[in-house]
Chain A
Amino acid sequence: MATATATHDPAGATAPATVLECRDVSVRFGGLVALSEFNLTLQQGEIVGLIGPNGAGKTTVFNVITGIYRPTAGDIRLFGHSIAGLRPHRITQMGVARTFQNIRLFGNMTVLDNVRTAFHSRTRAGVLAALLRTRGFHAEEQALTRRALELLEILGLSHRAGALARNLPYGEQRRLEIARALATGPRLLLLDEPAAGMNPNESRQLRDLIQEVHRRFGLTTLLIEHHMDVVMSICHRVVVLDYGRTIASGTPDEVRRNPAVIAAYLGEER
């Protein structure tokens, strides 16, 4: 589980490190260009919003960062290491976690198990230890169970630990997705429309939750959202995509006023 330190500087100074760098990343599927010369730099501790009309390429950005797609051109660097072309599980192990736009929980597993599964990459006990039920195996299982329960507590789901994930109401499923992503121990968290389908009250609570989690675990967060109130209130910066290209970037206020953005996307301020 990530501790509360916000930097990697052993001397303790708060010089922000560059967490993620996308350089001229392009993604094509046959003739379709999903993303074109995308550039993004994320500094440690930032919350950056990624907005744009449907089909603009926002989820493609997530998919290419997390390794589900291979960039057709360009490079992606995580803490300075190139991750383009790595398998998704490797990238997750390096500290990137995500939630999905269409919730992808492990439906027939319990809430607790969904989270415990995500601890897998941080376990050491091998298959043999599991088969023979060694003491080391038991200790590790107990430890990860406890940490899973702590995460559920933070996300307000501990009363649901034994429920099947597919039986959860929608809002709780979204929170479980976040809990599960956090269990992988990320330093960079990608949230894909976490407030989708929520009413204003729920999205306010979610906004507070994101901020708390971000602070508590010292994360850097990239957030795709259509709920402008959430984006504008918690993001330090906002990047706007349209047709696979970046059309604007800056503080929420700057972006809100940008005529190109308004033309492409924001009909009126929310």
Chain B
Amino acid sequence: MSELPSAQAAVWVRNPSWPAVAARWALQVAVTGGLYAALQVVAGANRYYEVVLTQAGIYVILAVSLNLIMGYTGQLSIGHAGFMAVGAYAAAILTKFFHAPFGLALLAGGVVAGIAGLLVGVPSLRLRGDYLAIATLGFGEIISVLIALIDEVHVGGWVIDIGGAQGMIGIPRHTTFAWTFFTAVAVIKLVWHFVHSTHGRACIAIREDEVAAEAMGIPTTRYKVLAFSMGAVMAGIAGGLHAHQYLYLNPALAGFMNSVFILVIVVIGGMGSTTGAVAAAVFFTYMNQALPNWLQALNLPDRIDPPAVRMVLFSVLLIVVMLVRPRGLLGGVELTWDGVARWVQAALGRGHGAGRADAVKGGRA
């Protein structure tokens, strides 16, 4: 949050008059619609772009959801991919075996993942720091092992084959760029609403100083579990989207490597910055796809394995960012409508004036 100059009460409270509200809504819809249209053109042009953009959207959701847990509430969670996997499998089972509508399956996947989040969160969130991290890692691995153990489930007269360790195939293709884009937008908006409310402040207070937060009347465990479960729900929905694009699931989806990938995106993008999470997710998804092609072009000797090179670069980047800018590249920096508006006004040389009345502490999407 950047420093703002001193202000009268009126400045801190959002202008609630109808024209202002309507104008804000109109602007947001217009920009969102415009962005979608532009990206859809790119996605429509070429299957490759569609896959990359859709993957980016999915990882945006994952990064924003983990950022809620780690960046805003300060809880170390390195088993986040477990929730993605739970949601993915749940949604896939519903569409493949029960022919449920896609939207419903996604939501159901989210709910199931949220329940998993509760089951993991309630015992784990009593722990602090490193212990919590390892506990979440442990749960992620347990989920992975459990999925690998289950081959078939018999429900009533039905046989649900989720493939165990071999994985689940034959998932119907439902995910489109449109689904992913608008789900991501909805997730970003909801997280934003949460963070810029008394509940969000409670979570940030927990991150800043848990003892002081508790002393200020905030039930810290309840909020940690809440943030954790909300993050799990969103990860589950992202998992559902992934399942219906990739069309194949296996237990490794819940595993450590995937969790680390999401973690790295959030940490490098910037803790507590939704903008950072979004930007980093897009960047890393693109890198993930593009890097192998670039490496191919370099004609490296056969011995050198492109994924390994990618990981080496990745890990070096991670270490360097931690050493140089531990809060993450965009940590504490947020792109807001008001921020953009102020920038535009400053650029146009207007400075103080009518735009002031719209400035609200912390900004608003």
Chain A residues engaging chain B, CB cutoff 8 angstroms: 66, 68, 87-89, 92-93, 97-98, 100, 104-110, 112-113, 116-123, 125, 127, 130-133, 137-138, 140-142, 144-146, 149, 158-164, 167, 180-181, 183-184
Interface-forming stretch among B92-100, B160-168, B173-181, B206-214?
B206-214
Going nearest first, the 8 A-B pairs with the smallest beta carbon separation are: A121-B217, A162-B4, A130-B197, A106-B208, A92-B217, A104-B212, A117-B201, A118-B216
- Given contact pairs A120-B218, A142-B14, enumerate 11 new A-B contacts (beta carbons under 8 Å): A68-B215, A92-B215, A97-B216, A113-B362, A117-B198, A117-B205, A120-B199, A138-B16, A141-B197, A145-B13, A163-B3
Q: Per DSSP, are chain A's interface residues mostly helix, strand or loop, or mixed?
A: helix
Q: Are B208 and A88 in contact (CB under 8 A)?
A: no
Q: Are B205 and A110 in contact (CB under 8 A)?
A: no
Known contacts: A120-B198, A133-B193, A145-B13. The answer to whether A108 contacts B217 by CB under 8 A is no
Residues of B within 8 A of A113 (CB): 1, 201, 204, 361-362
Q: Give the Cβ gap from A132 to chain B, nearest Cβ, in Å.
A: 8
Known contacts: A113-B361, A121-B217, A146-B13. The answer to whether A105 contacts B198 by CB under 8 A is no
B297 on the A face (CB < 8 A):
no
Bound-state CA distance A127–B13 (Å) is 20
* Count of inter-chain pairs, beta carbons less than 8 A: 145
Contact among A120, A142, A163 with B216 in the assembled complex (CB-CB below 8 Å): A120
Q: Are B201 and A120 in contact (CB under 8 A)?
A: yes
Contact among B6, B202, B219, B332 with A161 in the assembled complex (CB-CB below 8 Å): B6
Bound-state CA distance A88–B13 (Å) is 31
Contact among A97, A122, A164 with B3 in the assembled complex (CB-CB below 8 Å): A164
What are 28 residue pairs bridging A and B, where the CB atoms are less than 8 Å apart in the complex? A66-B215, A89-B218, A92-B216, A100-B212, A104-B215, A105-B212, A106-B205, A106-B209, A108-B208, A109-B204, A110-B362, A113-B204, A113-B361, A117-B198, A117-B213, A117-B218, A118-B217, A120-B198, A120-B216, A121-B216, A121-B218, A127-B194, A142-B13, A145-B13, A158-B6, A161-B6, A162-B4, A183-B216
